[in-house]
Structure 1
Amino acid sequence: MTDTMWVVLAAVVLLPVGYYAVDVVQRRRLLARLRAAWGKEDALRKLDEDELTDIAHHYRQRQAVQPSLVPVDDTTWNDLDMDEVLRHIDASTSIVGSQALYALLREQGTPEEVLRQRAELAYAFEQEELRLKVQEALTAIGQQAFHGAWRYLFSGQFEHPRGAWIYPILALLPLTLALLGLISPVFLLLAAGAFLVNLVVYYRTQTTWKAEITSLRHLGAVLRCAQRLERINHPALADLRARIQAHNAPIRPIRFWLPLFGMQTVGDMALVLEYLRIFFMIDMLSMVSIVRIINRSMQDVRALYDLVGEADAMLSVAQYRQRVPGLCRPVFEKERGMRFTGLAHPLLKNAVPNDLVWTRNVLLSGANASGKSTFIKAVAVNAILAQTIGLCRATALTMCRGRVMTAMAVRDNLLGGESYFVVEIQSLRRILEAMDGRMVYGFIDEILRGTNTIERIAASSAVLDAIARRNALCMAA
């Protein structure tokens, strides 16, 4: 063998070994980081306002296709500072987990059996080996918001470039001409020309279809994660694996294309890989094939997206239970009312715990800054947490299932031409309208303070009297 041949042979052998060694080191570092952060403040996502806005938009688009049974409406969500509650709980490994946790916190009608299954999964994640496998799979999705996948998951089908039939031809042409170059050098010049054509088509497609490619890469990462979760053989994941397997079956052909479309690398091989993707039109061929499969099985893709997100959200719940002392699982009963001991607001570190047996409407009174509003919010937030993630900050809590609605942080609508009083009336009206048949917990802070004293007393009495005749419990301050 010549020296050149030995160099080539050494490169062929050592390069894969080197990349494998780097991969092993990076994996060990990842697992060490995940292990060290578990159950600590460092694991929290700390979503900024833009990220929260994007997550909320994703939720609203989802609502149009998959509406909640008993949603936490926008007024209640804002009154109770639920964005802060989300930040306090969210330790998701991926952006999909944050989206799923947000959706869970806005659904008060989750069946008790589903709450029980989620609680069991969260408890199972206390096993380090299991949770590290799940977290490692989720890490590949990333935490980047603004992926825009809602456009295709909930608003329509993916599109792909027209004339997709040309891509296989463009992929084969340079290689064919290069092989013919062994016969005549002229074909090598033609092969170079064909590569230049592919180069133009590649970068033009990347620019024109940037939004679709970004969304598709995100969806591809989620679907690859679902495939990895399906391979984790653990009794605690049996139900999750069965559901993932059922929805993965119709999209099995996508397994070939996802690694090709999603392959990314850095370092010395990045440029080589980029040229290979251009030479063989890998991204275009993969994109067209993936889009066709997803459009054909969109319901299954949505289900897999939700299942992956739910698994990540339960990791957050498991960490929340580990990080915050004084949490309990609620007990649900048919009898109207709520009973709790040692209840405190989840966002307050040194909160004073309170006990209450709440079976009748309650009117709280007291001096300014005595904690009336804080107590009302503590009860409301814990009632939501009990019915969404199956945890609350109390020593014990027993309640009848019911929708939590509030009228607290009312503001006038200057641009809409609505006075403070009108906005207050509208806020109270939505609570009264929700009380037709379904159990409602109404929380009202400083009722009708936007009008004069005489009318305020008369109107407040009428509102509270109407609530007393409904299937509801009201706590007013």
Structure 2
Amino acid sequence: MIDDITWNDLGMDEVFKCINNTNSSVGQEYLYKMLREPVADAEKLHELDRLADEFTANEKERITIQKIFMNMGKSRKIAVTDYIGYIMDIEQGSNIVHYLAWVFLIASILVTVLVTPVLGIWLIIASVAFSIITYYKYKAKIENYFKCINVIVKMALASEDICESNISFLEPECNRLKEILKSFSKVTKGSWMIESGNVDGSIGEVVLDYLRMITHMDIVKFNKMTKLITAKSEDAYNLVDTLGFIETSIAVASFRESLPFYCKPEFVENTNNLSVKEVYHPLIDNPVCNSITTKGNVLLTGSNASGKSTFLKTIAINSILAQTIGTSLSKEYIAPVYRIYSSMALRDDLANSDSYYIVEIKSLKRILDAVGKKGIPVLCFIDEVLRGTNTVERIAASSEILKNLNTDRALCFAATHDIELTTILKDCYSNYHFQEEVTEDEVKFDYKLYAGPATTRNAIKLLNVIGYDKNIIKGAEQRAMHFLTDGNWKS
């Protein structure tokens, strides 16, 4: 599971939007769920990959399925799975009162025909009044749930359409849908009874509205449907998952077609190293590609704005995409399956009265806790370790935290401005850096990854580029030089 901190650190909402070429709520929600839940099941990724390739190669069939999902439409406020949950929470209603309304009306008609017309007419008026009063009384309690039923009906009808399309490469999915539909045949049959009344204002709809009031047929049908769906709730959720999986494969196919290049990941066992070639970030126009093959943990150094954070996010996002939609924005991705965590774009938590430093150490603690648990190894990304405290304690504490992540149960990518860490951690972290070219009036970055620690600084030079007062720049340079020469700060 990708937790909220990691999801927000990496801007995954924007990545999701980039991939989300779906036409229905079912597909949209399944894609989001898939991105939040990296899988260790290679078979599921293989099946997604197979369908994506088939939809890419078979445009006519893809358009046919897309039209079916488009007819289902999107719900902007409520998740499809929530609709199922709402139905399960409904207090099951009895149809006895509604059957009595039928009996009362039929008896009144029989009295009119066989006994006395005058009495019969009065009884008919009374029975109709009873039907209308009880109809609105009971319908008021359940009318808001009609939408829930209609959503499930739409899914069932869409499933029937997909199966009837006879697309050969969808046979495994259609077999699952056909099995599920056995539970819902009574749901789709007569579903017109509970459509919202007077949909188009036609005479037929008006007549149906009156029939509903007199016979309560929509309430009776609703009660039967809710009982069936509640009893078959597992099938309802499986219906959502199967349809969502199909449309997600179309979205993945579309996403792949939009990329300059991509690769299908290769997952390996009995190693804790990651190798990517020409990897790039999905949200950056004209991105600079980088390659790395890890031999243990990675420590990144480099000047401000040189590309450290973007590189961390690039590797992290590609690891998530590899383990969720079987797609890496690179020419090669070889790695084991990981649990993925980050601690990067943190901020004060005013709601809980937590300072930046408290938020930061809590974030790092959750990564250490994850590494301590049994199971799949952890791939973690840490940007500017403990930036929320003073230099001495930051270096002391961050070096120990990063050393604790040097285990066969974790692979850590960390970025820092503290060049001291490159020496302290040289035995357990491989050093890489980003660099820049500085002139009098500008700083140029190539955003390429280089081996070894950074050897340049640009913070004060950037002040000059931005246009700071020359005296500020001169004073800052003198203080920095004094510290580097004598080891203490000039007063």
The two structures have a TM-score, normalised by structure 2, of 0.76
Residue of structure 1 equivalent to 2:213: 278
Shift of 1:256: 1.9
Aligned mates of 1:199, 1:132 — CA distance in 2: 46
Verify: 1:299 aligned to 2:299, yes or no. Answer: no
The answer as to whether partners of 1:149 and 1:216 remain within 8 angstroms in 2 is no
In structure 2, the partner of 1:331 is 266
Q: Determine if contact 2:92/2:226 at 8 Å carries over to the other structure.
A: no
* Alpha-carbon separation, structure 2, partners of 1:418 and 1:221: 47
State the shift of 1:87 in Å.
Answer: 1.1
Q: Is the contact made by 2:29 and 2:79 (CA closer than 8 Å) also made in structure 1?
A: no
Measure the CA separation in 1 of the matches of 2:46 and 2:243: 18
The whole-number CA distance in structure 2 between the counterparts of 1:196 and 1:220 is 32
Residue 401, structure 1, aligned to residue 337, structure 2 = yes
Q: Determine the C-alpha separation between the residues in 2 that align with 1:132 and 1:186.
A: 62
Rg larger in structure: 2
Change (3 A) 1:323 1:149: closer
Mapped to 2, the partners of 1:168 and 1:140 lie a distance apart of 35
Q: Does 1:122 align with 2:55?
A: no
**1:362 maps to what in 2?**
298
Alignment of 1:386-465 (within 5 A): 386-436=322-372, 437=374, 438-465=376-403
Whole-Å Cα distance in 1 between the matches of residues 93 and 247 of structure 2?
A: 37
2:300 and 2:414 in contact (8 A); partners too: yes
1-structure distance, mates of 2:358, 2:317: 26
The aligned residue for residue 54 of structure 1 is none
Q: Any conservation in 1 of the 2:131–2:216 contact (CA below 8 Å)?
A: yes
Q: 1:451 to 1:206 in 2, by over 3 A?
A: same
Stretches of structure 2 that go unaligned for 5 or more consecutive residues are 416-491
Give runs of aligned pairs for residues 196-215 of structure 1, distance below 5 A.
196-215=129-148
* Equivalent position of 1:308 in the other structure: 243
Deviations 1:65-87 (A, max 9, x none): xxxxxx11111111111111111
For the residue of structure 2 that corresponds to 1:392, the secondary structure is coil
Q: TM-score, normalised by structure 1?
A: 0.78
Distance 1:125 1:435 in 2: 39
What is the CA distance between 1:336 and its match in structure 2?
2.3
Return the alpha-carbon distance in structure 2 between the equivalents of residues 222 and 244 of structure 1: 10
Residue 177 of structure 1 and its aligned partner are, at CA, apart by: 4.5
Q: Distance in 2 between matches of 1:173 and 1:226?
A: 40
Query: 1:143-173: CA deviations, max 9, x gaps?
Result: 1133465456458824256442122332465
Cα displacement (A) at 1:260? 3.2
Q: 2:288 aligns with which of 327, 330, 352?
A: 352
Give the 3-state SS of the residue equivalent to 2:133 in structure 1: helix
* Structure-2 residue corresponding to 1:105: 35
User: Any residues of structure 2 matched to 1:135-284 within 5 Å, and which?
Assistant: 135-147=66-78, 150-151=81-82, 153=84, 157-160=88-91, 162-171=93-102, 173-174=104-105, 177=108, 184=117, 187-188=120-121, 190-262=123-195, 265-268=199-202, 269-284=204-219
C-alpha separation between the residues in 2 aligned to 1:464 and 1:381? 21
Do the aligned residues in 1 keep the contact of 2:21 with 2:254 (CA within 8 Å)? yes
Match of 1:15 in 2: none
Q: State the alpha-carbon separation in 2 of the partners of residues 118 and 172 from structure 1.
A: 54
Tell me, yes or no, if the aligned pair for 2:93 and 2:223 is still in contact at 8 Å.
no
- Equivalents in 2 of 1:204, 1:136: separation in Å? 39
Deviates more, 1:224-233 or 1:95-104: 224-233
SS of equivalent to 1:350: coil
The CA distance in 1 between the partners of 2:153 and 2:205, in whole Å, is: 20
2:8 aligns with one of 59, 65, 78 = 78
Letter in 1 for 2:14: E
Structure 1 residue 458 displacement after superposition: 0.6
Amino acid at match of 1:324: L
Return the alpha-carbon distance in structure 1 between the equivalents of residues 366 and 227 of structure 2: 44
Rounded to whole Å, the distance in 2 between the matches of 1:249 and 1:210 is 27
Q: Any conservation in 2 of the 1:158–1:291 contact (CA below 8 Å)?
A: no
**Distance of 2:67 and 2:118 partners within structure 1:** 50
Q: What is the correspondence of 1:8-87 to structure 2 with a 5 Å cutoff? A: 71-87=1-17
SS in 1 for 2:293: strand
Q: Which moved more, 1:464-473 or 1:256-265?
A: 256-265
Partner Cα distance (1:259, 1:130) in 2:
29
Tell me the alpha carbon deviations over residues 353-378 of structure 1, each in whole angstroms, 9 at most, x when there is no partner.
Answer: 11111232111111111121111111
Per-residue CA shift, 1:184-223, capped at 9, x if unaligned? 3654554354334333333343432244323222223223
Deviations 1:68-120 (A, max 9, x none): xxx11111111111111111111211111111111100111241111010111
The Cα of 1:313 is off from its aligned counterpart by 1.7
Secondary structure of residue in 2 paired with 1:230? helix
**How many Å apart are 1:180 and its aligned residue?**
6.5
Contact 2:341 2:381 in 1 (8 A): yes
- Using the TM superposition, give the Cα deviation of residue 277 of structure 1 relative to its aligned residue in structure 2, in angstroms: 2.8
Q: Matched residue of 1:381: which SS?
A: helix
CA apart distance, 1:176:
6.4
Amino acid across the alignment from 1:285:
V
- Higher mean C-alpha deviation, range 114-123 or range 324-333: 324-333
Could you give the per-residue CA deviations for residues 9-28 of structure 1, whole angstroms, max 9, x where no partner exists?
xxxxxxxxxxxxxxxxxxxx
What is the distance in 2 between the residues matched to 1:349 and 1:144? 31
